[in-house]
Chains A and B, each alone.
Chain A
Amino acid sequence: MALTNEQIERYSRHIILKEVGAKGQKKLLNAKVLIIGAGGLGAPAALYLAAAGVGTIGIADADEVDLSNLQRQVIHATADIGKPKVESARESMEAINPDVKVVTYHEFITSENILDIIKDYDFILDGTDNFPAKFLINDACVMAKKPFSHAGIIRFKGQLMTYVPGEGPCYRCVFKEPPPKDAVPTCKQAGVIGAMGGVIGSLQAMEAVKYIIGQGKLLTGSLLTYDALNMDFRKITLPHDTSKCPVCGSNPTITKLIDYEQAECEGTGL
């Protein structure tokens, strides 16, 4: 399908890039990206992917917008307090770009529904705030052979990595299983600087765009860490050998999805 005159103008700064062009823009318009968590990471990612003209954006989050979210979750406004985050996110994305079809999932992701939700998407963004969800997303993406971007943020630090089936380690290769509840500090206890979600969530959107247009080198096989206080970005090479991984390895012992601490794993949006 040819781009309309309006689309040529809207996406002109993309189209002029040799790595994108009209061809890459059409790939974006035909792409389907799922964002799990409409919070600190999901908010900037959703805004940039909508602006970029990603044709279908799924957004999953069971929460409602809370006053304490607004310090960092820039897709929601003060008037949205009390509204489901997915609805608030949908309105913001549709206001930016009518080309985008937004699909909302106002529910918790669980071992029961995740495979069905991710199956229609080309790329998944983990913007969740809790380890049970992060392990569930990882395992489901490994099992369904879906590429995804993992990220985490806390205080003045953030990190992300990208999993593409067959092209390097998964999240579980690096982190074997969720730490016990309260064993590692959370944002609620420890805080997080608002712009950290902007930095790391935008990098996740960047990975999704690069994956869709098939350009550049993804963060597969490496973990990018960002320390804002020292203004230090580091790209850490991850081990190549994934054979011993319980989910993506050669003899997987995890063959069914696990709901860790089901009752606790409720707030999806960072």
Chain B
Amino acid sequence: MKITVAGVQKEVADGLTVAQLVIDENVETPQYVTVTINDEFVESGAFESTVLHDGDSVEFLYFMGGGQYGINE
């Protein structure tokens, strides 16, 4: 089946889960990524149980804080 990941169309195996896609896409810090399918959130505990379908559009939204936690340097 074909899905779109971050704007890029890909051929993937039928029955692919969000959890497996996160691994296949080498998502950095996968436990803190927010995932949407067709502009809807996937609950963070539901990556294993969420199966992708042909035509789905998936986005990964990453934490981006920027700097350091502590005081300067």
> Interface residues, chain A, CB within 8 Å of chain B?
39-41, 63-64, 66, 68-69, 128-132, 134, 151-154, 157-159, 174-176, 179, 181-189, 192, 223, 234, 236-241, 261, 264-267, 269-270
A-side contacts of B20, CB under 8 Å: none
B65 and A152 form a contact (CB under 8 A): yes
Residue from the list A187, A234, A266 in contact with B71, Cβ < 8 A: A266
Query: Residue of B at shortest CB range from A132?
Result: B69
- 8 additional A-B residue pairs with CB within 8 Å, beyond A236-B36, A267-B71: A39-B66, A63-B72, A130-B66, A152-B66, A186-B65, A186-B67, A192-B66, A239-B36
A-side contacts of B23, CB under 8 Å: none
Which of A132, A151, A182, A238: most chain B CB closer than 10 A? A238
B39 and A174 form a contact (CB under 8 A): no
Give residues of chain B (32-73) contacting chain A, Cβ–Cβ below 8 Å.
32, 34, 36, 39-41, 44, 59, 61-73
Does B26 belong to the interface (CB within 8 Å)?
no
B67 and A39 form a contact (CB under 8 A): yes
- Assuming the A-B contacts A134-B65, A152-B65, A179-B63, are A241 and B71 also in contact, with contact meaning beta carbons closer than 8 angstroms in the complex? no
B interface residues, how many (CB within 8 angstroms)? 26
B40 and A239 form a contact (CB under 8 A): yes
A192 to B9, CA, bound (A): 29
B29 and A64 form a contact (CB under 8 A): no
Residue from the list A175, A183, A189, A192 in contact with B61, Cβ < 8 A: A175
Residue from the list B7, B29, B34, B39 in contact with A234, Cβ < 8 A: B7
A68 to B68, CA, bound (A): 12
A-side contacts of B40, CB under 8 Å: 239, 241
A184 and B61 form a contact (CB under 8 A): no
B63 and A175 form a contact (CB under 8 A): yes
B65 and A266 form a contact (CB under 8 A): no
Query: Residue of A at shortest CB range from B6?
Result: A234
A-side contacts of B39, CB under 8 Å: 237-240
A240 to B6, CA, bound (A): 18
B-side contacts of A270, CB under 8 Å: 66-67
A-side contacts of B32, CB under 8 Å: 179, 183-184
Query: Residue of A at shortest CB range from B44?
Result: A176
B66 to chain A, nearest CB (A): 4
B41 to chain A, nearest CB (A): 5
A126 to B63, CA, bound (A): 14
A134 to B44, CA, bound (A): 20
A256 to chain B, nearest CB (A): 23
B50 to chain A, nearest CB (A): 14
B66 and A68 form a contact (CB under 8 A): no
A264 and B63 form a contact (CB under 8 A): no
Residue from the list B41, B62, B67 in contact with A269, Cβ < 8 A: B67
- Assuming the A-B contacts A239-B40, A241-B40, are A130 and B67 also in contact, with contact meaning beta carbons closer than 8 angstroms in the complex? yes
B-side contacts of A267, CB under 8 Å: 67-72
